[in-house]
Each structure stands twice: as structure tokens, then as C-alpha cells.
Amino acid sequence: TFNGTWKVDRNENYDKFMEKMDINVMKRKLAEHDNLKITIEQTGDKFHIKESSTFRTKDIDFTLGVLFDYSLADGTEVSGTWEMEGDVLKGKFTRKDNNKVLTTTRAVVGGELVQSYNYEGVDAKRIFKKQ
Ligand code: MYR
């Protein structure tokens, strides 16, 4: 289950990923240490997520398989869906500014929440510990 509050513990290749996303070096440095915390509340196929970081706090609601809009912390707007495949959440989001696709997954692995990202062939991970 994804429910609970998760605090980012470490990143893998996140700087390279953000670079591919065309995020400038100053924002990347800040984003590496954004203290991202997400609280996930799943009820059936509905999710409520509270996101908090050094950049902002934000509430997000989505239903599995239903298109929704989301803006990244740097203001980049995307639109897409999350789907559940087995125990893995799979997200596919399209940037509104260039129509390129960002895919992401969330899975609980060994008690940690692992979020993977892919954009234009570059993979990254952020790994969260439960609070
Ligand atoms: C959520 O479930 O938390 C909201 C929807 C997430 C959409 C896609 C997330 C991609 C975030 C990429 C951030 C990297 C910034 C370069």
C-alpha cells in the first residue's frame, strides 16, 4: 500500500534527468535538496496527494486512468494519467510546452517508496522513507 507520508531520502541520476528536462543548473541544485515529502491517501481508485517541499505545498487529486493536469515545481505543465499495474503505479504525462512524454512509476520496495522517472531516454529515481 502507498498510504502514508514519505520523505525523500536519496536521488539517483536526478540531476541528469532534470538537465534533460531543460531545467537550469541553479534550479537543479535547489531541487536536489528540496526535502520533498508526499502524503498519499488511496481510497479505491482515487488518490489524494499532499506534496510539500522547499518550493511549495500542493494538493493533488486524481483517479486511476483519468486524465488530469499537473504543474511541476518549476512551472512546467503536464497532463496525463496514473494506472495501477499489479502493485506498481505507472504514470504517463505529456509536457504541454513541447508534447514530449515523461513516464514515471511508484512502487514500494523493501519498505521504501521508489519513484522512477524517464524523459527522452534519461532515467532517474527518487527514493522515499516512510515517516
Ligand atoms: C503526483 O502523483 O504526485 C502528481 C502527479 C505527478 C506527475 C508527474 C510527476 C513528474 C515529476 C517530475 C519532476 C521532475 C522535475 C524535473
pLDDT average per 10 residues of sequence, the chain (131 residues): 97 98 97 97 98 98 98 96 98 98 98 98 98 95
Say what the pLDDT of residue 1 is: 86
Instruction: Give the three cell numbers for residue 103.
Output: 513516464
Give the SS3 label for residue 86.
coil
* 15 φ/ψ angles, rounded to the nearest 5 degrees: -65, -45
45 neighbors 33 (Cβ within 8 angstroms): no
Q: How far is the CA of 116 from the centre of ligand 1 (A)?
A: 10
Q: In the prediction, which pLDDT does 52 show?
A: 98
- Ligand 1 center to residue 110 CA distance, Å? 22
Instruction: Give yes or no for a contact between 35 and 56, defined as CB atoms under 8 angstroms apart.
Output: no
Identify how many contiguous H helices and E strands the chain contains and give both numbers.
2, 10
Q: Which residues contact 108 (CB under 8 A, 6 or more apart)?
A: 1, 2, 87, 114
* CA distance linking residue 7 with residue 88, whole number of Å: 19
120: domain CATH number is 2.40.128.20
Using a 6 Å cutoff on CB, does residue 14 contact ligand 1? no
Give how many domains the chain has, as a whole number: 1
**What range defines the domain where residue 104 resides?**
4-130
Residue nearest ligand 1's atom 8 by CA: 93
Interface predicted TM-score of the whole assembly (ipTM), two decimals: 0.92
